[in-house]
Structures are given as structure tokens and as C-alpha cells.
């Protein structure tokens, strides 16, 4: 994973976890702030906006040209980075007792 300009993107929060899950679930989709916020009613529009702008700064998202509002798509590097971040958040599975 490349070093992030915005290290806060790798810090777990409920909002980031929901946003990342949505982006990964439909990684080829193009997104608007309002579209993503509508999909995640438990996440504030401000959290969606802030996260997407930070991801743009880190080049994890590309802007989609010729759109009136901000429209973005997850890059291949963005997908790999978000997958690595979310994998780090998952708790380690308990060790199995051996007989």
C-alpha cells in the first residue's frame, strides 16, 4: 500500500467502514456525493463528502469528466488500497485449539 497523504483514511470509523464497503461492493460504479449518501442513510453527507475529497487528494478516486456535480470512480489503486485498509481493520481470528 502506498503511503497516504491523508493518514486519517486508514483510521477506522463507522462512517469510513460503511463508505469503503459501498465503494468496494460496486467498484466499477460512478458515484456522486448525494448518491453515496442516499445509499448510506446512517452516514452523514458531510462524512461522505470529506471522505471522498480526501480520497481524491490521495488519487484513490478519479473524477468523471463532463458531469455537472462532483462525480467519482474508484481507481484500481484505490480499490487495492481500500481493500488493504479494511483488511487491517478486521480483528484477528481466534487461534483454533488443537486436540
Q: What is the pLDDT of residues 35-61, one digit of tens each?
A: 999 999 999 999 999 999 999 999 999
Taking alpha carbons only, the member of 12, 4, 5 closest to residue 86 is 12
34 pLDDT more than 50: yes
Is 83 inside any structural domain? yes
Residue in the block written with cell 485498509: 85
Alpha-carbon distances, residue 38 vs 5, 19, 42, 49, 53 (angstroms): 28, 11, 9, 12, 17
Instruction: Give the number of domains in the chain.
Output: 1
pLDDT tens-digit readout, 58-89 = 999 999 999 888 999 999 999 999 999 999 99
What CATH number does residue 81 fall under?
1.10.10.10
Residue 33: give the domain boundaries. Answer: 11-88
Amino acid at each position: 500500500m502506498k503511503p497516504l497523504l491523508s493518514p486519517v483514511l486508514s483510521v477506522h470509523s463507522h462512517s469510513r467502514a460503511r463508505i469503503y464497503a459501498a465503494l468496494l461492493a460496486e467498484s466499477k460504479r460512478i458515484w456522486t456525493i448525494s448518491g453515496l449518501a442516499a445509499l448510506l442513510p446512517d452516514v452523514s453527507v458531510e462524512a461522505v463528502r470529506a471522505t471522498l475529497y480526501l480520497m481524491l487528494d490521495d488519487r484513490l478516486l478519479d473524477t468523471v469528466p463532463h458531469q455537472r456535480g462532483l462525480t467519482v470512480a474508484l481507481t484500481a489503486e484505490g480499490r487495492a488500497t481500500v481493500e488493504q485498509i479494511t483488511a487491517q481493520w478486521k480483528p484477528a481470528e481466534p487461534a483454533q485449539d488443537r486436540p
